[in-house]
Structure 1
Amino acid sequence: MNAVPPLTPDSATPEAAGPAFSPLYRQIKALIVRSLQAGEWKPGEAIPSEMELAARFRVSQGTVRKAIDEMATENLLVRRQGKGTFVATHAEERVQYRFLRLESTDEASAPRSVERLFLDCRRLRAPAEVARALDMKAGETAVQIRRILSFDGTPAVLDEIWLPGALFKGLTAERLSEYRGPLYGLFESEFGVHMVRADERLRAVPAGADEAELLRVPVGTPLLSVERRSFTYGDKVVELRRGLYHTAKHHYRNELS
């Protein structure tokens, strides 16, 4: 690996416009994130050992460990006992639905299967509110995806997903239907876009005629509306998702700390 010049507060952290000083471990964290952004280590791949990173950045192993601990807490990296530290990926079975918080109200009857039906995938000029949410310029192209998630054959989620067109060239309904893994796994492997965090807004809404037909519920049925913005490295927003959840047999579970 190429040698890295000695760290200084101004050169090490990407937030150059912020405070002049940042703790050393935070500077190391910023450099590791920069390498993730550049694709040096892909999702699912192992990163160098703490000793190797300490030599690369000319700092102590303890400083590197503190940076990696914070990144593991933020789900950017995953530690595996006896194997090393890996870039987090949505392709892993245990985390592939990390952003899907819908759970069965009865643990004994947890869904045995999750089915996805893609209704359409279109490229079009982003509506003004979508462009604003995705930090896009007015008139830029976006990808709109509509799909239904069913648990054990019963529709539970109607999703409308918006993506920046420039990042997802070549994404089609056929490709979505062919892919068997999680949607975010496809975004990682084929488009190099890794979702690392999200924020959400929730409210209750009545089902309109179209939503009621797709979710097989009466018009006016209470639904949970979840609007999510997902971010990649550097806090760049890369997805706007508007989901309608039928929660008659499920609840929306979140953990606060």
Structure 2
Amino acid sequence: MNSNPASTTNLPGAAGATEVVPASSPTFSPLYQQIKALITQGLESGEWKPGEMIPSEVELAARYKVSQGTVRKAIDELAADNLLVRRQGKGTFVATHNEDRVQFRFLRLLPEDGDLHPHVSRLLECRRLRAPAEIARQLDLKPADPVVCIKRLLQFDGETTVFDEIWLPGAVFRGLSAERLADYKGPLYAMFETEFGTRMIRASEKIRAVGADPAVAELLGVAAGSPLLSVERVSYTYGDRPVEVRRGWYVTNGYYYQNDLS
């Protein structure tokens, strides 16, 4: 008797092909995870663009030669990852940064009344330069590769509340300029998605309390040494590829930083 049986798994999307995986193999992934990876590949390649409806569960099940339940589980995870959005009675759509609920997913500063207030962005600077060593490391670039540096202020209810310093890989954001930023009406991440084909999928943040240095204090209209919230974020696109380093300084008088843990 064979004491180490192997399981045979049909490869989705490859008719007749099989893959023999030892039952004890640590690299084995459930079938729905394989389908999730295939759908993600379609999203990354642009087969289904932001805001577009993807095929139905029945159609995807037929395409990948799996059960509808397997597809549903894959889509459930992609929706939980904010890559897809289910709309009751309409279908499943590719998430986009043009949706209000997605816009506020990455902007976590909320007023004490809990309501989402619109903000105004004031561009201070947009220039191309050689990547500083730390920025190159965080963006997985070679030293001195080109980057784009954006500096801006965000105003809520007429009050300057956030100073952002944003670093982007120059090769990905070729052609980004102060003029294009000034002409675009909408969220910054929506512009990156629409005009540069780069969608922010997830972000990792480090937060700490700091005293405002004189230059930042002047921009935010507070006294030097005033308490600020410092937020450093690295944002990733498909394939866990870093495409943004953002350093923000937040005035939190009347505001708090909300994060949902799950």
TM-score (norm 2): 0.90
Q: CA RMSD of the aligned region, Å?
A: 1.8
- Asked if 1:141 corresponds to 2:150, the answer is no
Query: Which residue of the partner structure matches residue 178 of structure 1?
Result: 183
1:211, CA displacement in angstroms?
0.6
Query: Which residue of the partner structure matches residue 77 of structure 1?
Result: 84
- Asked if 1:240 corresponds to 2:249, the answer is no
Give me the whole-angstrom Cα distance separating, in 1, the residues matched to 2:91 and 2:118: 32
Distance 1:64 1:113, change over 3 A: closer
Query: Which residue of the partner structure matches residue 54 of structure 2?
Result: 47
1:238, CA displacement in angstroms?
0.7
Distance 1:198 1:8, change over 3 A: farther
Task: State the identity as a percent.
Answer: 63
Question: The residue matched to 1:25 in structure 2 has which SS?
Answer: helix
Structure 2: which amino acid aligns with 1:61? Q
Query: Which residue of the partner structure matches residue 98 of structure 1?
Result: 105
Distance 1:8 1:125, change over 3 A: farther
Alignment of 1:195-214 (within 5 A): 195-214=200-219
Give me the whole-angstrom Cα distance separating, in 1, the residues matched to 2:182 and 2:154: 13
Give me the whole-angstrom Cα distance separating, in 2, the residues matched to 1:106 and 1:228: 25
1:216, CA displacement in angstroms?
0.4
Question: The residue matched to 2:39 in structure 1 has which SS?
Answer: helix
Structure 2: which amino acid aligns with 1:81? Q
1:8, CA displacement in angstroms?
5.4
**Equivalent residues of 1:90, 1:98 under 8 A apart:** no
Question: The residue matched to 1:36 in structure 2 has which SS?
Answer: helix
1:179, CA displacement in angstroms?
1.1
Structure 1: which amino acid aligns with 2:54? I
1:19, CA displacement in angstroms?
4.3
Alignment of 1:145-160 (within 5 A): 145-160=150-165
1:33 to 40, 47, 52: 40
Give me the whole-angstrom Cα distance separating, in 1, the residues matched to 2:78 and 2:184: 29
**Equivalent residues of 1:36, 1:42 under 8 A apart:** yes
Stretches of structure 2 lacking an aligned partner (at least 5 in a row): 1-11
**Equivalent residues of 1:195, 1:230 under 8 A apart:** yes
Query: Which residue of the partner structure matches residue 93 of structure 2?
Result: 86
**Equivalent residues of 1:90, 1:97 under 8 A apart:** no
Distance 1:139 1:150, change over 3 A: same
Aligned residues: 247
Give me the whole-angstrom Cα distance separating, in 1, the residues matched to 2:68 and 2:116: 44
